Structure 1
Amino acid sequence: MTLVVSEEVQEALAARRPVVALESTIIAHGLPRPRSLQVARELERAVRQEGAVPATIAVLDGTPYVGLAEEQLERVADEEGIRKLGHRDLAPAVAAGASGATTVSATASLAARAGVRVFATGGLGGVHRQWTVTQDESADLGLLARTRITVVCAGVKSILDVPATLQRLETLGVAVAGYGTDRFPGFYLSDSGHGVDWTLRTPEQVADVMRAQDTLGGPESALVVANPVPEEEQLDPALHARVLDEALHACEEQGVTGQAVTPFLLGFLVRHTDGASLNANLAAVRGNVRLGARIAVSWARP
């Protein structure tokens, strides 16, 4: 598989300047047009404003790219038929010459292969509710267990089984730290109701943990930096609880299963909160991207 790293990203990595990986699924599948392209440009601009280089990742015509030119960004945002690619889909997509937006697992894998150490996203996938029946678990978790990358996120999506996800991350040996908090965030919510064992309060402290990972060696696992959405920008917790309960009932009544569950629940939340869940999602992504850039800047310092 030929991995194409943009000239700007190559030069930054060679000069040990800060680089932040960004996923492309939010651009292709997470937002309506033309807002998707506007947000893609906004996130790249936010990385630059913090002194780092953005590396948005996608697969176009069977070629994985780390760092997109403007016309490539436009393709991901506007082109019909852009697939959604997890790590398992990369080889088939390359072999078929397909185009696709990368999820957390695919983005982390390609970023690490290119030498990018920091990745900012919205929320991680995790263990799904009723796991004992469905055995449904996101590929994000296993990929992070074997990939040395720092992922800045707003926790995991609140539609998932949060305590089971935290337990699974512990079992897999993936370090999790709250940023400025001892609580694990719940994507739309500042607090999922569950705690974390470690709290980091500055980008420099995060970079110190990254250096300690390298010094200690051992399994090439990730560091998850759980950065809560600000309370004033979170989805109202009472509204969230009510609509999520309605969404879960609707999902069961309509027989939605497998990969269709997550988009069904997220779409239900957007519609039945009058877009408030999407606003909270974007607030979380913006905050994570800026924090990711600050961490990358600290990491790049000698």
Structure 2
Amino acid sequence: MTDFHIRHGREVAEALRARRPVVALESTIVSHGLPRPDNLLVARRIEQTVREAGAVPATIGMVGGQLVVGLDDAELTRLATADGVAKLSVRDLAVAAATGADGATTVAATSAVAAAAGIGVFATGGLGGVHREAAQTFDESADLVTLSRTPIAVVCAGVKSILDVGATLERLETLGVGVVGYRTRRFPGFFVTDGGFDLDWSVDSPEQVAATMAARAGQRAHGGGLIVANPLPVDEQLDPELHDRTLAEGLARLARDGVTGKAVTPYLLAHFHSATGGASLAVNVRIILRNADLAARIAVAASATAG
């Protein structure tokens, strides 16, 4: 990852030089995960949430072929409002750079670029994972393999509930990616609090997460990432019955329309937004804001530990 041509935003560059806490943020949620004009407003709220918790936000994206760690407001607006913004995973970064593209980075690409830039904490909504019917399609998010070799802590609300959650947890174990629940022993299901699977480990504070990060770095046997699974409170989740019904309808439409690959997640999220009358969007926003707050507090704790 050291060959990336990365430009740091001024605020982020100053924070990294001063060893102040920084939190990486993805841009795919801005360009592809939320509808306009809410996407830009939410992106600004996410950054403000990080600042209020004591860290510097570093939203990552590509502008005119250049990777930017710490998009300024004009660049953020460009990625939020322009048509044709590419969805960039790790494999797409070089071609997008060579062709001068505007692009929004996925969890995988954001993690890789953030780690290359020296940022150790990343906040997102939900992780990608193993898709349903993957035994036939081999459809698995690049997020998983990337995190197996990228030293970064990712705060998320589990994996998106449209995926095969059990298979994703099995793959994470195989790949050696650490998973801890934040004040829970149950893996969250993104829109819903409980994704249906137990966790082996739980932590109770940002300081414990920071200590875990330091231990993994010190052991040197672990080159991969750490997932901090942060569930929504029960009273803030999407109604589970509505969730299950909407998911079943969405999967049926997905098969009917022949949607595959990168288009699956935005297709299903758009269906959730429409079918729930916007309720899933409100939940999605609560998820990312809560994760941004926790990630910032982890970054602050990690910075204090590093001295």
Instruction: Give the TM-score band, short-chain normalised.
Output: over 0.9
Aligned to 1:144: 147
* Count of aligned pairs between the two proteins: 302
Q: Distance in 1 between matches of 2:32 and 2:38?
A: 11
Q: CA RMSD in A?
A: 1.0
The alignment's TM-score, normalised by the length of structure 1, stands at 0.98
| Aligned equivalent of 2:223, options 202, 220, 241 | 220
Structure 1 gaps of 5+ residues are none
Whether 1:76 aligns to 2:79 is yes
| 1:1-302 alignment, distance < 5 Å | 1-301=4-304, 302=307
Q: Deviations over 1:93-119 (max 9, x none)?
A: 011111101110110011000000000
Contact 2:216 2:222 in 1 (8 A): no
Q: Distance in 2 between matches of 1:141 and 1:83?
A: 21
Q: Deviations over 1:118-164 (max 9, x none)?
A: 00000000000011111100000000000000000000000100000
Q: Distance in 1 between matches of 2:264 and 2:59?
A: 26
Q: Distance in 1 between matches of 2:50 and 2:197?
A: 30
Q: Deviations over 1:242-300 (max 9, x none)?
A: 11111112222333333332222222111111111111111110100000000000000
Q: Distance in 2 between matches of 1:216 and 1:254?
A: 48
Structure 2 gaps of 5+ residues are none
What displacement does 1:57 show?
Answer: 0.3
SS of the counterpart of 2:33? Answer: coil
Q: Distance in 1 between matches of 2:45 and 2:283?
A: 16
Matching residue's letter, 1:89: D
Matching residue's letter, 1:173: G
Q: Distance in 2 between matches of 1:256 and 1:222?
A: 30
Matching residue's letter, 1:185: P
Contact 2:33 2:266 in 1 (8 A): no
Once the two structures are overlaid, the 10-residue window that deviates more, 230-239 or 147-156, is 230-239
Contact 2:31 2:104 in 1 (8 A): yes
Matching residue's letter, 1:186: G
Matching residue's letter, 1:262: T
SS of the counterpart of 1:256? Answer: coil
Matching residue's letter, 1:95: A
SS of the counterpart of 1:213? Answer: helix
Q: Distance in 2 between matches of 1:46 and 1:105?
A: 23
Once the two structures are overlaid, the 10-residue window that deviates more, 189-198 or 265-274, is 265-274
SS of the counterpart of 2:119? Answer: coil
Q: Distance in 1 between matches of 2:135 and 2:165?
A: 14
Q: Distance in 2 between matches of 1:32 and 1:259?
A: 17
Q: Distance in 1 between matches of 2:81 and 2:267?
A: 22
What displacement does 1:32 show?
Answer: 2.1
Q: Distance in 1 between matches of 2:14 and 2:262?
A: 38
SS of the counterpart of 2:128? Answer: coil
Q: Distance in 1 between matches of 2:266 and 2:52?
A: 32
SS of the counterpart of 1:225? Answer: strand
Question: Are residues 223 and 237 of structure 1, via their aligned partners in 2, closer, same or farther at CA, if it must alter by over 3 Å?
Answer: same
Q: Distance in 2 between matches of 1:118 and 1:286?
A: 15
Matching residue's letter, 1:15: A
SS of the counterpart of 2:114? Answer: helix
